[in-house]
Amino acid sequence: MIKTKLTQLLGIQYPIIQGGMAWIANAKLAAAVSEAGGLGLIGAANAPADVVRGMIREAKALTSKPFGVNIMLMSPYADEIAALCVEEGVKVITTGAGNPGKYFPAWKEAGIKVIPVVPSVALARRMERAGADALVVEGTEAGGHIGEITTMCLVPQVVDAVQIPVVAAGGIADGRGFAAALMLGAQGCQVGTAFICAEESPAHEEYKKLVAQAKDTDTVVTGRANGHPVRSLKNRFTKKIVELEKEDGSFEAVENLTVGSYRKAVQEGNMQEGTFMSGQIAGLVKEVRPAKEIVEFIVGDAQDVLKNALSKGGITIE
């Protein structure tokens, strides 16, 4: 049993949050992770408010345990979704790809636990001042929209800069990574890539196969030139984006090429036109298995690692 300030704050069994991955983090996956003792998240991504409301209601029907909603702040529906989370009695909100400051008063008033995802110390400090209950601190190893700093460097710097609990994200898919995050001062971890390969994940079989077969060097970051860096698995489509960026790195050009490409990856497994977002840790994810097994594997392995770190590593302290 690993109990931390995060398990206490959220009333969950294990300090593991499932990433709110666009098109993948649906009600079934979120409910499966929450049922397993972690915190499942519904990823609102760019979905309209009524679709998100439907997912929240479906998750409520599937689990009585706490789950959350991740709001992608670049979505045109972010304002509506921020309000509907209050209406629907959502217990936990995480946010990504922006500053959620303007929503804090309404969320706090409703008693919602607010956990912004931050890629820097500066934003972490600002979010703590605004009233965040905890932070997901996401390193550049993560999949999807990313910051510049690695998990290893960012987590301890944020831990030193704030008082609220820190959840490490980016590059964690097993007990070693989770244990390392705790050693850096985190109170929990967020896991994305490994849950793409959950049995309950709606990702296309081709997507799951790509993640399970990926090796360490198989991801690439596109979109740096237009200010929205996104990490995904290398394929013919990312090659096309990289070429376009060399010729015409304008926001519009890259946006026009990539619009709809996340859906094409998740729903169609479309290698020609799909962006298969994934973290660098894909090389460690080898198989498709139930969400419960993924949660229990990470926790069990971390306990073992923490108890036996010195003896197994042949390390002595004199």
Angle 137-215-297 from CA coordinates, rounded to 5°: 60
Of 4, 99, 267, 303, the residue at the interface with ligand TUI (CB under 6 A) is 99
Q: Does 96 bind ligand TUI (CB under 6 A)?
A: yes
**Interatomic CA distance for residues 26 and 52, integer angstroms:** 9
On whether the CB atoms of residues 13 and 40 are closer than 8 A, the answer is no
On whether the CB atoms of residues 148 and 140 are closer than 8 A, the answer is yes
Of 55, 97, 191, 197, the residue at the interface with ligand TUI (CB under 6 A) is 97
Complex with ligand TUI: residue 172 or 302, whichever CB lies closer: 172
* Beta carbon of residue 210, minimum distance to ligand TUI (angstroms, whole number): 17
Among residues 41, 38, 18, the alpha carbon closest in space to that of 90 is found at 41
Of 17, 146, 203, 282, the residue at the interface with ligand TUI (CB under 6 A) is 146
**Interatomic CA distance for residues 288 and 291, integer angstroms:** 9
- Please give the structure tokens belonging to residue 193: 């890539």
Q: Does 228 bind ligand TUI (CB under 6 A)?
A: yes
Among residues 294, 279, 207, the alpha carbon closest in space to that of 33 is found at 294
* Beta carbon of residue 144, minimum distance to ligand TUI (angstroms, whole number): 2
Question: Which one-letter DSSP state was computed for residue 226?
Answer: T
Give the phi and the psi of residue 96 in degrees, each rounded to 5.
-140, 160
Among residues 25, 280, 39, the alpha carbon closest in space to that of 152 is found at 280
Give the phi and the psi of residue 299 in degrees, each rounded to 5.
-70, -50
Q: Does 117 bind ligand TUI (CB under 6 A)?
A: yes
| Contact region with ligand TUI (CB under 6 A), list: 83-91, 114-122, 149-157, 267-275 | 114-122
- Please give the structure tokens belonging to residue 116: 């912004």
Convert residues 36-65 into a mask of x (bound to ligand TUI by CB under 6 A) and - (unbound): ---------x--------------------
| Contact region with ligand TUI (CB under 6 A), list: 115-123, 156-164, 178-186, 208-216 | 115-123
Q: Does 4 bind ligand TUI (CB under 6 A)?
A: no
- Please give the structure tokens belonging to residue 185: 């001062």
* Beta carbon of residue 45, minimum distance to ligand TUI (angstroms, whole number): 6
Complex with ligand TUI: residue 35 or 138, whichever CB lies closer: 138
* Beta carbon of residue 196, minimum distance to ligand TUI (angstroms, whole number): 12
Binding site for ligand TUI (CB under 6 A): 22, 45, 72, 74, 96-99, 117-119, 123, 138, 144-147, 228, 230, 277
